[in-house]
Chains A and B, each alone.
Chain A
């Protein structure tokens, strides 16, 4: 037992009024030594976050209670305490000082009404007894350590003025302020773009090299921690199913669930596993044609609120989409990929450009383009039954709900593998994956020729994600649907896309067949995007910290940007020339 920084034995945690009846963590054991990184991996509901939040006992504030077990923690002065038995005043002395924590959502994890500086200084005041100018200097240095440019000015900023990636770096600065012996990171990169994720992972790797802080890293993505963790612990339904050294578990998993997770997680493999069930041979018709799509949002300012400048969200985007084909639009937040999707649906007004959708291909399409959104929980009205939800698209085009419509509902439910008796039920009776299937069924009610899938699987657990992707591919082959698949996740894109368009700062910088773009990226941004994707195969590569950020898209009114010419790199592979 001695020598361990943290030694957890038989930890049991319950929730609710009678926690004993609602136990969600059933006897977890693990050890962590100083300087070691333990990855806790599992899907939602596996108890991984509950376990981590039990260590610093924040779980009590989320309605959880520790029912049993011990958590022996060695403090910096060598004394050992049982975290499970400490009272609140004693815990306050350990939180922050001995155990730091970073959370999943940097956007909501910092206090919106206090400046960044105040929130960092607070830790120095509390744990190092600093005050005034001393605390301010310490806060600035902490920001510089996490590579925030222009740190002095940033101290005076409020959180909403910083990007998600910067906020997560601020969170790391706060968590490391007191030089804790243990850092808990709860899905710290899940809400972030892939290149930003690489920055955060790089910072954590640097911390690991330079200090002997122990790290508990919670994630659903095995590929992500493969390069950072020393040991891995796989959880399912509140139990540890397997734990051991990282290489041993990844290369020779023992438990079925670990094997399942390793298979379910879409591994990015540089374009080796793209779909090859569609080719542009001229047989299939064109489902969607977008020419010169440009979307600009005016920024108003001054006493008379005139448009002084424009945000060039989408700039001269052109592409076409064949029946039965998937075009993946990839890029980071702010690249304009969602705006492109919304413009095609007519949800935002295009400043310029032509969008032509095929209305004949599948017969009775009143609205040939339909959309599936990211969050299935938020995109189904909880007060409507499934039958009412599926009827809505028909009502929207003025059709009556007749026997034929009912027959179609039943047929589509069957097609998306939901029970036939779902019609009178309500959305809350379905799981996340089932709800996304409902959304897909709804989008198919009007027989569209094009489906726009905006991050449609991002909110789902990995194994659910894999099944929904399979369903989408089946539906595509059966109905000859064209998909515009908007995503930030390169591994998912590799599984579903036939062609890829890479969006950067509102423009397509590279476009072509998925195999060619992923295996042989030509534009520097595409290269950066692909090299940032974590994968099990690349786990022994070093993370480099690249803190470049996306350029501002704000331009003075009347400004017309130049677009770089296309350079051909193969039969179906174009990239913008770079100066």
Chain B
């Protein structure tokens, strides 16, 4: 408990660092918000009009003033207004996030459901045909880009069989769960299978290490069946690297899967961030990056808490 609180106390410090970094980074990118907003028409603006627009968005001040203005509002929960959408940044983020979260959870579920059993199975059949096949499959899965798999999946299922994916505008899970699932299952499979390959490799390696441990031998000497030795004695010990990997991957997915969202035309957080960067929508970029960083920290904290839940030797309060 004390550990979680100590970690939470560090959150604001990291958030401040991220704020400064992203604030400077978006301003170092060439081009400005007004040109991006108006496109070629920006050339028609008189200098006075330009200045008025800049003043309206607060872009006429120096960086320190701009930062303080933005940051002091953030501290009060106001992330500013998007120049592209003309809506509050927080609203845009919170609208696109449920989709991203759902997609991330679904792909993790698929990845673990496939990867973990396959990795364990491969480890117990080390160097036998089943292991070799799984290793090759995992290698292919890891080295094939996700969008290739995604495009192939769309092609095969829609053109070939005339089923899936449900295109059209995205339906939230709260409105029509079935339709929602139909829209998300393909992108989730695309993301999930690629990650499953990584899970296979890491869980296989971890299991191989654990299977040669003394306590696995002890479990066998008790007369436990192979199944119990593997699932009850070995696997819990092999989970730590899997949790580490999954935590990192999940953190990335919460930042939005840009490519997959583009291919499947999903209005997730990834597309919001991409559009915002292209439009030099400073407030939206800053707000969403901050949001993504926050998610990452929460996931990392959960991963650390999971470590101590999995392994009683890892006492977070000490050391």
Contact = CB atoms under 8 A, between A and B. Distances in A.
Interface in B297-319: 310-313, 317-318
B155 interface: no
Contacts of A175: 221
A111 B223 contact: no
Interface in B231-261: 233, 236-237
B223 A97 contact: yes
B224 A158 contact: no
Number of contact residues on B: which range applies?
20 to 34
Interface string A537-564: 0000000000000000000000000000
Nearest to B211: A61
A113 B220 contact: no
B312 A126 contact: no
Given A112-B311, A113-B311, A303-B2, A96 B218 contact: no
B237 A113 contact: yes
A186 to B, nearest CB: 10
A122 B221 CA distance: 12
A78 interface: no
A109 B214 contact: yes
A279 interface: no
Interface stretch (A99-107, A213-221, A255-263, A411-419): A99-107
Contact of B222 (A62, A126, A158): A126
B208 to A, nearest CB: 13
B40 interface: no
B213 interface: yes
B62 interface: no
Nearest to B240: A113
B312 A111 contact: no
Interface in A65-109: 88, 92-97, 100-101, 103, 105, 108-109
A554 to B, nearest CB: 13
Contacts of B220: 58, 61, 95
B310 A113 contact: yes
A127 B223 contact: yes
Nearest to A184: B221
B44 interface: no
Nearest to A96: B223
Contacts of B213: 108
Given A58-B220, A303-B6, A112 B225 contact: no
A112 B313 contact: yes
A301 interface: yes
A114 interface: yes
B215 interface: yes
Contacts of A61: 216-217, 220
Contact of A111 (B2, B6, B219, B225): B219
A123 to B, nearest CB: 5
A108 B221 contact: no
Interface string A312-356: 000000000000000000000000000000000000000000000
A56 B312 CA distance: 31
B217 A112 contact: no
A94 B224 CA distance: 10
A109 B218 contact: yes
A109 B215 contact: yes
B139 to A, nearest CB: 25
A174 interface: yes
A301 B319 CA distance: 9
B5 interface: yes
A490 interface: no
Interface in A5-62: 56, 58, 61-62
Interface in B251-284: none
Contacts of B219: 111
B80 to A, nearest CB: 35
Contacts of A95: 220-223
A95 to B, nearest CB: 4
Contacts of A161: 312
Contact of A126 (B6, B223, B226, B311): B223
Contacts of A62: 217
Interface in A259-309: 300-303
Most buried by A among B6, B217, B219, B223: B223
Contacts of B226: 88, 92
Contacts of A92: 223-226
7 contacts: A58-B220, A88-B226, A92-B223, A105-B214, A111-B218, A127-B223, A174-B222
Interface of A: 56, 58, 61-62, 88, 92-97, 100-101, 103, 105, 108-115, 122-123, 126-127, 158, 160-161, 171, 174-175, 178, 300-303
